[in-house]
Structure 1
Amino acid sequence: MGEPARPHLVVLTGAGISAESGIQTFRATDGLWADHPVEEVATPGGWRRDPGRVLRFYNQRRDQVRRARPNAAHKALAALEKQGFRVSIITQNIDDLHERAGSRHVLHLHGEILKARSTVDRRMHYPLPRGGIELGDLCDKGSQLRPDVVWFGEEVPHFGEACEIVGEADLLLVVGTSLAVMPAASLLHHAPFDTPCVLVDPEAEALAPPGVTRLSQPAGKGVPALVRHWRREGRLWVPETLLAS
């Protein structure tokens, strides 16, 4: 007989987990996004109108990401994987904080800010270990490079793969997301029937749809608390004592 299948935790993370590392969300009322309307810096139309402005904005965000550090939630998920749990992370975030914490199975639904890509062939990606993208930086086919991020109004190329991962979950953990951005919000519907789902967010009581267990705590507190239970018990479960606290 083979070894029993390892429990599979699928984690869907949003801006709230990165915000605790100092990366601002686009809904923030101050910081980088305050003077940059989404329509001007995060849409194909904004890119066509003023690519230089878009590149400058993402160069700023890239610097912010490089300065940020993984927080307790990122580290807890990586530690759970190291203990032998199967952990798949599907993130709406474009930073690399999960990877820097040590997680090895991370799918970026909305792209990665530390990469550039061709404007004529989306399969052509270029890592950006330092610096940014400037006007005149070209891909190997001679087209201007752009941030490797999914803008509003663009297709989410990895959505099908994300649906397949969610379909294999033993437990679904949603962290730091309003569950308002489509199509990512619809991923919950692809989980197997009766798969437990937990939402960790300070506004969980208001945000969680029916059938989703609420843990109204910041990611850096709620996720490590859950992980401690799972590591101690060697299984994925929803501890009622924790959720009642």
Structure 2
Amino acid sequence: MKKKLVVLTGAGISAESGIATFRDADGLWEGYDVMEVASPQGWRKNPDLVLDFYNQRRKNAHSAQPNTGHLALADLEREFDVRIITQNVDDLHERAGSSHVLHLHGKLFESRSTLDPSLVYPLEGWELKKGDKCARGSQLRPNIVWFGEPVVLMEQAMEETMQADLFLVVGTSLVVYPAAGLVDFVPDSVPVFVVDPNLPDMRLHPNLHPNLHRYEEKASTGMQKVARLLREKHL
């Protein structure tokens, strides 16, 4: 039986494919106040702005290509039972060939009803327009988890994490939630590998995990090293 490799990915892995990271330190996302374009309040205030913002994100993601980090994770399915938990809303993991991807924050290429959240529709192109409606007649919105909304898949992510034989974090630091929170659910005996160019000073975070292996570099190059190590030592 294949060992279960649970992988948490963040903005860093998609950034190398040209996908903008969610927000900078000043609270802006490509010049937009995130609360204006990524909150229920922003949607109620100016739905046209929100629709246009995500149309542009979708257009950008549509032309992006999976990088070697995405491809390395997909390739690991040959030897491991790989389960990806991603904070990213793009579809680059799927396009790289990964079979099991859990999107914590929703999917950019889906829309959902503003009346009934269970009504979710795939988006073939990049544009979602005012007047596009669900089967019950309400306006469609991006199927994205906005600020102030519950991360409904978090419990499933915790269950996957607790069952891991190996745990890998790529493209997000260990002090950004939900990454830090999920690592708390990794059993102490399970190795945790972290690939990110901005890892925290362990002197300030001494209790992150007792079996931690750090690779302080970008996802594409770091993933090559980790994939090689996993095959050599953990098959």
TM-score (norm. length: structure 1) = 0.88
Q: What amino acid is the match of 1:41? A: V
- Counterpart of 1:241 in structure 2 is none
Residue in structure 2 matching 1:46, options 37, 42, 49: 42
- Counterpart of 1:242 in structure 2 is none
Deviation at 1:34, TM superposition (A): 2.9
- Residues 17 and 176 in structure 1, CA contact (< 8 A), matched pair in contact too: yes
Deviation at 1:228, TM superposition (A): 2.1
Deviation at 1:181, TM superposition (A): 4.4
Deviation at 1:198, TM superposition (A): 1.4
Deviation at 1:84, TM superposition (A): 3.0
Deviation at 1:204, TM superposition (A): 1.9
Question: Where in structure 2 are there 5+ consecutive unaligned residues?
Answer: none
Deviations 1:9-30 (A, max 9, x none): 1000000000011001122489
Deviation at 1:179, TM superposition (A): 3.7
Q: How does 1:33-182 map to 2 (within 5 A)?
A: 33-81=29-77, 83-182=78-177
SS at match of 2:29: coil
- Residues 205 and 214 in structure 1, CA contact (< 8 A), matched pair in contact too: no
Q: What amino acid is the match of 2:51? A: L
Residues 1:12 and 2:20 aligned together: no
Deviations 1:86-112 (A, max 9, x none): 100000000000000000000000000
- Counterpart of 2:196 in structure 1 is 201
CA RMSD across the alignment: 1.9
Taking only the aligned residue pairs, the percentage that are identical comes to 53
Question: Where in structure 1 are there 5+ consecutive unaligned residues?
Answer: 237-245
Query: Partners of 1:193 and 1:228 in 2: how far apart?
Result: 23
Q: What amino acid is the match of 1:69? A: Q
Query: Partners of 2:199 and 2:179 in 1: how far apart?
Result: 17
- Counterpart of 1:216 in structure 2 is 216
Query: Partners of 1:229 and 1:149 in 2: how far apart?
Result: 35
- Counterpart of 1:235 in structure 2 is 234
SS at match of 1:141: coil
Q: What amino acid is the match of 1:63? A: K
Number of aligned positions between the proteins: 229
Q: 1:181 to 1:121 in 2, by over 3 A?
A: farther
Deviations 1:33-83 (A, max 9, x none): 2321001000111001000100000000000111110001100011110x2
